[in-house]
Structure 1
Amino acid sequence: MDISIVIPLLNEAESLPELCQWIERVVNANHFKYEIILIDDGSTDNSWEIIEQLAANNPNIKGIKFQRNYGKSAALNEGFKAAKGNVIITMDADLQDSPDEIPALNQMIMEEGFDLVSGWKKKRYDNKLTKNIPSKIFNAAARWSSGIPLHDFNCGLKAYRKKVVKSIEVYGEMHRYIPVIAKWAGFRKITEKVVAHQPRKYGVSKFGWERFINGFLDLATISFVSRFGKKPMHFFGLWGTLFFCIGLVSSIYLIIAKIIETDFSLTNRPIFYIALTSMIIGMQLFLAGFIGELIARNASERNVYLIEEKIHL
């Protein structure tokens, strides 16, 4: 199969028929063997009934229905598991992502050799105050922390080589950081493509201000887990040792000063409390690293590594 198109959705019954017809026109015109995987993330409207009707008329349309709302990351993760195409393309179901971009995205994966191509909605039709400005701040922080020069991490329109989606796990609200997850999994051929952004035709946006706060928290999480998930002591041990040494040096200074000056008062000096606090923080960080190592060594995936190729094995 050439292409799997994975579409998570929540209460998008009005847009689904038009979206699927649009996708069918594009893939048939380019003679792609395809499948459309629609993941209903706990919709409360008749989205699932629409999916059943579409699937009955086209065997290339497949559906997954969650019992309740789990979030976009969970929907994408299940879609990635089910996808069989050589190229997996994700898009939103609200018609703001254009299926006309599919051939070019497929070409960048199959012919130009990229592992992941992320859409860049250079011209947006969203509200500037509530979406555009916070999105620019968020993307700047993501670029700085990840080292991946993408302008639009949040864009739902992305294309992946099959091996990428089969090698990563998306959970929580980490869908924003799939390029970061892919990079830390060893897929470094990541680029972006300017894509068309359509005005919303039906319904309302399902995201609010809280997604940007959660986004920064998730960025910190994925950065830490990617770098230190299998070696937590390298982080906690380093900072624990540093704080403990600061406290130890300060304590030695106080002891020497007390020996030299008998009327030297320890508890009346700020450095005494700095030394005490630093040593306590240092020990706590070191213990956190030690506990983290014990958990990591007993985790079921402690020795799971992505192997690209083997010879005679």
Structure 2
Amino acid sequence: MNISVVIPLLNEEDSLKELYDWIAKVMQSNRFSYEIIFIDDGSTDKSWEIISNLSLKDVHVKGIHFFKNFGKSQALHAGFEKAQGDVVITMDADLQDSPDEIPELYHMISKEGLDLVSGWKKKRYDSVISKNLPSKLFNWAARKTSGVKLNDFNCGLKAYKKEVIKNIDVYGEMHRYIPVLAKNAGFTKISEKIVLHQARKYGVTKFGMDRFVHGFLDLITIWFLSRFGRRPMHLFGALGFIMFAIGFGFSVYLGVDKAFLNPAGRLITQRPQFYIALSTMIIGTQFFVAGFLGEIILRTKQDKKRYLIKDELNF
């Protein structure tokens, strides 16, 4: 199979039929073998009913229905697990991503040998204050922190080699950082393509300003995991050693001062250095314990399902 199109969605009943027709037209005109995987992330409208009807008419249409809203990352994870295409295309269901971009994205992966191609919505139709400026700041921070030189991490329109999506774990709200996850997994042939961004035709956006706050927190998380996720003791042990060494140094100073230099002076417990030494040694010990616990958890953790599937179609 040439292409799997993976589409996570939430309450997009107005756009689904039009999106399906558009994708099918592009696929058939290019003679691709394909599948379209819709992942309904707990919609409360008629989205699943529409997907069900489409799947009855066209075997290329497949569906996954979550019991409730688990989030876009979990929806993508479920779609990636089921995808069978040599190239996997992700796109949003709100018609802001153009299916006409699919052929070129496919050829960039299949012909040019790239691992991942990320869309870049260079010209946007979103609000400048609420989306464009925060998005530029977010993308700048992501580039500096991750080392992945992309202009638009948030773009839902991306293309992947099958091996990429089968070897990364998308969880939490990490869908923004799939290129970073891919890089950390060893897939370094990452590029981008300027894509058409269309104004939203139906409904309202599902993301508010809080997504940028969550995005920056996730960025810190992924930075930590990429550097210390497999060796937490290297970080916590180093911090623990530094704090313990500071405390031990103050303790030695207080002991020498009291025993030899100023035996008639104040009691050790009346000096501020005593509390600095006590606090830093306790904190250092806690860092060591955190490092040990991290190592134990890392070696004993078991994979746990992060979403529940209510129904599936055509799998």
TM norm structure 1: 0.92
Counterpart for residue 9 of structure 2: 9
1:253-296 superposed Cα distances (whole Å, 9 cap, x missing partner): 22222231224444555433332221111110001111111222
Counterpart for residue 104 of structure 2: 104
Counterpart for residue 304 of structure 1: none
Counterpart for residue 135 of structure 2: 135
Counterpart for residue 260 of structure 1: 261
Amino acid at match of 1:150: L
- 2-side partners of 1:105 and 1:116: how far apart? 9
Rate the CA distance shift 1:113–1:264 in 2: closer, same or farther, 3 A.
Answer: farther
Amino acid at match of 2:66: F
Contact 1:246 / 1:279 at 8 angstroms: preserved in 2? yes
Amino acid at match of 1:80: F
Structure 1: where are the runs of 5+ without partners? Answer: 302-313
TM-superposed CA distance for 1:125, in Å, is 0.8
- 2-side partners of 1:270 and 1:197: how far apart? 61
- 1-side partners of 2:180 and 2:242: how far apart? 29
1:286 maps onto 2:281 in alignment: no
Counterpart for residue 113 of structure 2: 113
Counterpart for residue 182 of structure 1: 182
- 2-side partners of 1:264 and 1:285: how far apart? 34
- 2-side partners of 1:85 and 1:150: how far apart? 25
Amino acid at match of 1:157: L
Amino acid at match of 2:273: I
- 2-side partners of 1:142 and 1:22: how far apart? 33
Counterpart for residue 233 of structure 1: 233
- 2-side partners of 1:130 and 1:118: how far apart? 23
Aligned length: 301
1:197-250 superposed Cα distances (whole Å, 9 cap, x missing partner): 100000000001221111122122222223322221111111111111111112
- 2-side partners of 1:193 and 1:40: how far apart? 27
Within 5 Å, which residues of 2 pair with 1:195-210? 195-210=195-210
Amino acid at match of 2:281: M
Rate the CA distance shift 1:15–1:260 in 2: closer, same or farther, 3 A.
Answer: same
Amino acid at match of 1:20: Y
Counterpart for residue 79 of structure 1: 79
More displaced stretch, 110-119 vs 208-217 = 208-217
Counterpart for residue 54 of structure 1: 54
Counterpart for residue 251 of structure 2: 251
- 2-side partners of 1:70 and 1:296: how far apart? 24
1:14-47 superposed Cα distances (whole Å, 9 cap, x missing partner): 0111111111121112111111100111111101
Counterpart for residue 309 of structure 1: none
Identity percentage of aligned residues: 62
Rate the CA distance shift 1:122–1:268 in 2: closer, same or farther, 3 A.
Answer: farther
- 1-side partners of 2:243 and 2:140: how far apart? 31
SS in structure 2 opposite 1:65?
strand
Structure 2: where are the runs of 5+ without partners? Answer: 304-315
1:121-178 superposed Cα distances (whole Å, 9 cap, x missing partner): 1111111111111111211111111111111111100100000011111111111111
- 2-side partners of 1:82 and 1:43: how far apart? 20
More displaced stretch, 164-173 vs 198-207 = 164-173
- Which structure is higher in RCO with an 8 Å CA cutoff and minimum separation 6? 2
Runs of 4+ in 1 over 6 A off after TM superposition: none
SS in structure 1 opposite 2:19?
helix
Rate the CA distance shift 1:263–1:196 in 2: closer, same or farther, 3 A.
Answer: farther
SS in structure 2 opposite 1:125?
coil
SS in structure 1 opposite 2:70?
coil
Counterpart for residue 27 of structure 1: 27
SS in structure 2 opposite 1:62?
strand
Counterpart for residue 162 of structure 2: 162
1:22-76 superposed Cα distances (whole Å, 9 cap, x missing partner): 1112111211111110011111110111111222222111111111111101110
Contact 1:97 / 1:157 at 8 angstroms: preserved in 2? yes
Within 5 Å, which residues of 2 pair with 1:264-279? 264-265=265-266, 266-267=268-269, 269-279=271-281
More displaced stretch, 126-135 vs 267-276 = 267-276
- 2-side partners of 1:88 and 1:159: how far apart? 6
- 1-side partners of 2:137 and 2:263: how far apart? 56
- 2-side partners of 1:11 and 1:195: how far apart? 24
SS in structure 2 opposite 1:6?
strand
- 2-side partners of 1:227 and 1:153: how far apart? 20
